[in-house]
Structure 1
Amino acid sequence: MVDTQLTPLSRNRNYTILWTSQLFSELAGEITQIGFPLLIMLSAGSPLEMGVVSSVLGFAHMVAIVPAGVMADRWDRKKVMLVCQAARTAAVASLAVVLALGVHPFPLLLVVALVEGFLGSVFDPAEHAALPQVVPEEQLSRAVATNTARPFIATLAGPAVAGMLFTVHPMMPFAAEAVVLGISLVSLVFLRLPRRVEAPRPSVGVDLLGGFRWVLGQRVIRTTLLWMMFSNLVFSALLVVVLALSGEDEVAPGEIGFMMTFLGAGGLLGGLAAARLHAKFPAPVLLLGFSWTAAAMVALMAVVPAGLPLGILLGAAAFLLPVANTTVMTYQMMITPDELRGRLSGVAGFCSGGAGALGPVLGGALTTALGGVTGVLVCAGVLALVALATTVSPTMRRFPTA
């Protein structure tokens, strides 16, 4: 039973600060994702240079994410977040200043990409681990549900803002990103986290291995990590396949952009509804429902016309994603001791991030070898196998309802 005397999340000062700072952090990341390619194209850079920058971002993320979980558990989480945002702000601001002078140095772009990828990854586990410190257990599922809507807000706003500002001047997206990160930094100054009990800590290596052992030793968490990995792998591959299919059918660029907007809108609406659905339905119903519905939606994508109908199906599939994520993440946070939450976030981020990085490569290979329609059907088939495995798994069928 939820205590009616609890302060609503909207009036929880520390939760609001944490949520807002992470929103601005994610918005900055989305600006980077579109700003870097546009800058390289403007300076007559090659596709290879675009690939190198994207690889540096991805490499820095993967290198940082697991050690970042250890940092979030060993060090003061507020200080970790402050240092990350201060360094990111300085790096992006330096790029904006150089661009304002009319210089487009590719080496500096690589350095900024390295800083952004690395410190953005260090910031995330500290923020995730701090969430249960500022939200009572009775409100944790609602807070997680609200958080799942946040990346879709950034996805809807970031690329559009970056594109419009770039037409004014190439330095403008990066100046705006520096301002956004500065706002995140200033807001974190006012964050108050409960004091954590200091205890003797083993070496960093022992902490790192201990975190892996604990996370992978939890049967439910281990099973959900596999479920998340395969789901992310297929969805990240599917996006490339869908874009290629739209190109095969000669869909106009504007319609493709609007089609992808449905994806962000569906995820945002799902995030807004996640808390209510999480409270109304048992966890296994939500997880099984997402798995089978996603497989069905993707199968339909092979037979509907490319363009807006495809976008509507993408939005429908994205709607249930935050609901499923809320169910999984709430349980993970509730059973994980505070001193291990950072490492949980790091391991989960490594698994889902690795799948997300590999998916586009597989999607491109699928489309090249088999074509867009067959590629969609392969994605649907793999999702059906994931749904079947979810159905027959005793762990998923009896997933605890938090």
Structure 2
Amino acid sequence: MKTAAGEITPLWRNRDYNVLWVSQVVSELGAAMSQLAFPLLVIFGSGSVVEIGVVVSARAAARFVAGLPAGALADRYSRKKIMLCCRGTLVVGYTSLVVALLFGAATFPHILATTILAGAASALFGPAEEAALPSIVPRSQLSTTVARNTARTYLAGLIGPAVGGALFGIHRVLPFLVDAVTSALSFVGLLFVRLPHRRVERDTNLGQEMWAGLVWVARQRAIAATLVWVVLSNTVFSAMLVPILAMSGEKDTPPGELGLMMTTLSVGGLIGAAIAPRLHAALPAPVIVIGVSWIAALLTPLLAFCSTALQFGLVLAMVMVFAPTANTTIITYQMMTAPDEFRGRTRGAVRLGTGMAGALGPMLGGVLTAVTGGRNVVLVCVAALLVVAVATTASPTIRGLAGKDR
């Protein structure tokens, strides 16, 4: 991390981080391709609506269930070995599905098991990677690495589904074959990432360590406050997408325009990830968190005047431009505040919270849309974001956030 003269090595010359980042870009692109292909496989197979719902929900459920032990495992065992096991397991799982599809032997339980495996592997990988970052990059570069990791997720979301759908149209096995190959490439890349050896000796079992991690997070007022902010913001934002999609569908919006709306969100996120390091360095942490809260609260009322999917997408994209800066600030703060022995569990708790938000938000949005109508739900979500902004501004804990990496 430092040159012979004692200078900090530029991030672009940090071999271990760049190998890790490239290997994960490749893997996340493959995952984004196959994630769309799983429901398509059922649609063009049995066509069962129930099976489609089960396949879509199973991946999210697996991520949620594996989210809590993931952090404890990352604090207990070798983080590099955890990452390698996750990628290696995916190679085996996707290869088995590819072979079954080629020989016409793929069954619904096999498809379901593979998507569950993918969700669990993703949940286990995340805290291990994030907890290892401070061992790879110096404190002064951590916020930039967090922003770059955020960018790769938006990049995968921008490119992956479109390419995955096109590959499925050529042959249904191709998205899964690509994911198997990208997982293998990621596995090979991880072999060359150097992490310091961690010797962890514990007298407690995994369940006790999971509980200890939750207690520790709850006692850290600043970490707990930022976790609540993330969960509330993500819940409201994900709930808002459902009525927007429903209103667009009522107007017989072409699928291509709906896809363009989601693409616009990813573009906004990519732009935001590009500017996040500069904004993070220029502004205090409280200003960022409170400011992003108010930006969301003041921009989303424009949704009431939107009539097309593209207009909805542009408004939401403006909000997404600033979201990565808040995420970068919060994640960096949490990672630098948490000691190494609790870092995995801290990130595991956050991922568990965002998983809950991702599952609960669309469910609430769907139920409320069915009962009251899409436009009313959008207004409720706008009001909820206003409440979050007011509460965030009034919180002495948020206002007292210190930049641990500065």
TM-score range normalised by the length of the shorter chain? over 0.9
Q: Counterpart of 1:130? A: 132
1:325-366 superposed Cα distances (whole Å, 9 cap, x missing partner): 011111101111111111111111111111111111111112
Deviates more, 1:18-27 or 1:310-319: 18-27
- Could you tell me how far 1:201 is from its partner in structure 2? 4.2
Tell me if the contact between 2:144 and 2:277 (Cα under 8 Å) persists in the aligned partners: yes
* 1:181 and 2:171 aligned: no
- Could you tell me how far 1:286 is from its partner in structure 2? 1.1
How do residues 262-273 of structure 1 correspond to structure 2 at under 5 angstroms? 262-273=264-275
**Residues paired across the two proteins, number:** 401
Q: Counterpart of 2:351? A: 349
* 1:232 and 2:202 aligned: no
Q: Provide the C-alpha distance between the structure 1 equivalents of 2:347 and 2:28, rounded to a whole number of angstroms.
A: 16
Q: Provide the C-alpha distance between the structure 1 equivalents of 2:27 and 2:231, rounded to a whole number of angstroms.
A: 24
Of 60, 79, 82, 2:81 maps to: 79
Judged with a 3 Å threshold, the aligned counterparts in structure 2 of structure 1 residues 111 and 149 are, in CA distance, closer, same or farther, namely same
Tell me if the contact between 2:80 and 2:190 (Cα under 8 Å) persists in the aligned partners: yes
Question: Which AA in structure 2 matches 1:109?
Answer: I
Q: Provide the C-alpha distance between the structure 1 equivalents of 2:192 and 2:231, rounded to a whole number of angstroms.
A: 36
Q: Counterpart of 1:34? A: 36
How do residues 93-242 of structure 1 correspond to structure 2 at under 5 angstroms? 93-242=95-244
Q: Counterpart of 1:377? A: 379
- With normalisation by structure 2, the TM-score equals 0.95
Q: Counterpart of 1:302? A: 304
Deviates more, 1:324-333 or 1:302-311: 302-311
1:139-194 superposed Cα distances (whole Å, 9 cap, x missing partner): 11111121121210110111011101001100011001111111111100111001
Q: Provide the C-alpha distance between the structure 1 equivalents of 2:105 and 2:140, rounded to a whole number of angstroms.
A: 53
Of 392, 398, 403, 1:401 maps to: 403
Question: Which AA in structure 2 matches 1:19?
Answer: W
How do residues 50-89 of structure 1 correspond to structure 2 at under 5 angstroms? 50-89=52-91
Tell me if the contact between 1:248 and 1:372 (Cα under 8 Å) persists in the aligned partners: no
Q: Provide the C-alpha distance between the structure 2 equivalents of 1:131 and 1:336, rounded to a whole number of angstroms.
A: 13
Q: Provide the C-alpha distance between the structure 1 equivalents of 2:200 and 2:46, rounded to a whole number of angstroms.
A: 53
Q: Which secondary structure does the structure 1 equivalent of 2:305 belong to?
A: coil
- Could you tell me how far 1:301 is from its partner in structure 2? 0.7
Q: Provide the C-alpha distance between the structure 2 equivalents of 1:31 and 1:103, rounded to a whole number of angstroms.
A: 22
How do residues 16-35 of structure 1 correspond to structure 2 at under 5 angstroms? 16-35=18-37
* 1:337 and 2:339 aligned: yes
- Could you tell me how far 1:28 is from its partner in structure 2? 3.3
5+ residue gaps, structure 2, are none
Tell me if the contact between 2:150 and 2:273 (Cα under 8 Å) persists in the aligned partners: yes
- Could you tell me how far 1:82 is from its partner in structure 2? 0.6
Q: Provide the C-alpha distance between the structure 2 equivalents of 1:29 and 1:216, rounded to a whole number of angstroms.
A: 33
Tell me if the contact between 2:164 and 2:175 (Cα under 8 Å) persists in the aligned partners: yes
Q: Which secondary structure does the structure 2 equivalent of 1:194 belong to?
A: coil
Of 389, 392, 400, 1:390 maps to: 392
Q: Provide the C-alpha distance between the structure 1 equivalents of 2:212 and 2:27, rounded to a whole number of angstroms.
A: 29
Q: Which secondary structure does the structure 2 equivalent of 1:302 belong to?
A: helix
* 1:361 and 2:363 aligned: yes
Q: Provide the C-alpha distance between the structure 1 equivalents of 2:160 and 2:24, rounded to a whole number of angstroms.
A: 14
- Could you tell me how far 1:114 is from its partner in structure 2? 1.8
- Could you tell me how far 1:200 is from its partner in structure 2? 4.1
5+ residue gaps, structure 1, are none
Q: Provide the C-alpha distance between the structure 2 equivalents of 1:400 and 1:254, rounded to a whole number of angstroms.
A: 44
Q: Provide the C-alpha distance between the structure 2 equivalents of 1:53 and 1:139, rounded to a whole number of angstroms.
A: 39
Q: Provide the C-alpha distance between the structure 1 equivalents of 2:371 and 2:341, rounded to a whole number of angstroms.
A: 47
Tell me if the contact between 2:88 and 2:187 (Cα under 8 Å) persists in the aligned partners: yes
1:110-141 superposed Cα distances (whole Å, 9 cap, x missing partner): 11122111122111111111111101011111
